């Protein structure tokens, strides 16, 4: 097996991983803070590609997950996802994260994620909560539980579409303690902003939830 190369998905994941490493480095001497990593759209851990010539259906699915697939067709490739990257960044750091909150709405993805953590990070599994819920609900519960005077967190928001509600972003901001990476779903927003200005009611509701305003 080998990892993907050259895709924007991999660049995005490298950015988050390098940020986590730099963050842990910066926090090395700030021992009064407990450090958390939160992945609110954690995925399944990693995505394996079995064939160099995916069917058109497989290709569509891959494109919806990773963006443009065309550069990356290869044999036995896989992309290591954000949560596993955070775990390995932490493992290699002198100042590791104390806790990982990995949120994922899809049950089978949660099960796969738990299995890969169990097999590849058995030494760290006691520090990891995999929460199978909607990200907005789980993030609000997480924010309520944490003592933000003593905790600092990286929060990674990597939705497919318009799942993140603005009120969740506001709640994260009010902690005053979270470094938030939000991959904003611009493509989805543009698709909903119809040229004639007549946006279906259902889409309006989604856009209002995303922006936190009807304006
Ligand atoms: C773009 S993928 C995340 C990829 C992940 N960051 C990685 O590196 O592997 C988006 C994920 O969000 C999950 N998802 C979709 N809606 C969700 C929601 N409302 N709350 C939490 N997770 C959700 C999907 O099942 C999918 O696994």
pLDDT confidence band for 4 (50 / 70 / 90): very low
Residue 174 pLDDT exceeds 50: yes
Query: Ligand 1 centroid vs 28 CA: distance in angstroms?
Result: 30
Helices (H), the chain: 8-26, 56-66, 82-91, 107-120, 135-145, 166-175, 186-192, 201-211
Residue 163 Cα: closest atom of ligand 1: 19
CA of 184: how far to CAs of 93, 113, 119, in Å? Answer: 29, 24, 32
pLDDT confidence band for 8 (50 / 70 / 90): confident
Query: Ligand 1 centroid vs 134 CA: distance in angstroms?
Result: 9
pLDDT of amino acid 94: 96
Which residues surround ligand 1 with Cβ inside 6 Å? 13, 41-43, 81-82, 103-106, 109, 134-135, 158-160, 163
Q: CA 188, CA 70: separation in Å to the nearest integer?
A: 21
pLDDT of amino acid 59: 60
**pLDDT, tens only, 182-196:** 999 999 999 998 999
Strand partners, 63: none
Residue 118 or residue 75, greater confidence? 118
CB-CB contact of 158 with 9 (8 Å): no
What is the Rg, in whole angstroms, of the alpha carbon atoms belonging to the chain? Answer: 18
Q: Mapping DSSP to helix (H, G, I), strand (E, B) and coil, where does residue 146 land? A: coil
Q: What is the pTM of this model?
A: 0.86
Nearest-CA residue for ligand 1 atom 17 is 105
Contacts of 20 (CB under 8 A, 6+ apart): 37, 85, 86, 89, 90, 97, 154
- Listed by start position, the domains of the chain span 2-184, 186-215
* Residue 46, phi then psi, degrees to nearest 5: -155, 160
Strand partners, 77: 2, 49
Crossing angle for the helix pair 82-91 and 8-26, to the nearest 10 degrees: 30
Q: CA 9, CA 31: separation in Å to the nearest integer?
A: 33
CB-CB contact of 182 with 154 (8 Å): no
pLDDT of amino acid 65: 52
* Residue 169, phi then psi, degrees to nearest 5: -60, -40
Top-level CATH class of 2-184?
alpha beta
Q: Mapping DSSP to helix (H, G, I), strand (E, B) and coil, where does residue 205 land? A: helix
Percent residues over pLDDT 70 in the chain:
84
Nearest-CA residue for ligand 1 atom 23 is 105
pLDDT confidence band for 5 (50 / 70 / 90): very low
């Amino acid at each position: 097996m080998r990892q993907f190369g050259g895709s924007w998905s991999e660049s995005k994941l490298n950015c988050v991983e390098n940020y986590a490493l730099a963050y842990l480095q910066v926090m090395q001497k700030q021992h009064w803070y407990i450090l958390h990593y939160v992945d609110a759209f954690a995925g399944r851990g990693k995505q394996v590609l079995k064939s160099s010539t995916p069917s058109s259906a497989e290709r569509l699915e891959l494109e919806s997950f990773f963006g443009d697939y065309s550069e990356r067709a290869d044999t036995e490739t896989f992309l290591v996802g954000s949560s596993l990257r955070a775990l390995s960044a932490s493992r290699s750091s002198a100042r590791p994260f104390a806790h990982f909150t990995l949120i994922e709405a899809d049950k089978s993805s949660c099960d796969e994620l738990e299995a890969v953590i169990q097999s590849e990070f058995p030494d760290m599994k006691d520090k990891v909560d995999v929460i199978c819920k909607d990200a907005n609900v789980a993030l609000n519960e997480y924010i309520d539980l944490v003592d933000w005077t003593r905790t600092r967190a990286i929060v990674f928001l990597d939705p497919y579409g318009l799942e993140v509600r603005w009120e969740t972003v506001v709640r994260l901001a009010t902690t005053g303690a979270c470094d938030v990476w939000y991959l904003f779903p611009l493509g989805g927003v543009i698709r909903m902003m119809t040229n004639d200005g007549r946006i279906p009611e259902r889409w309006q509701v989604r856009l209002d939830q995303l922006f936190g305003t009807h304006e």
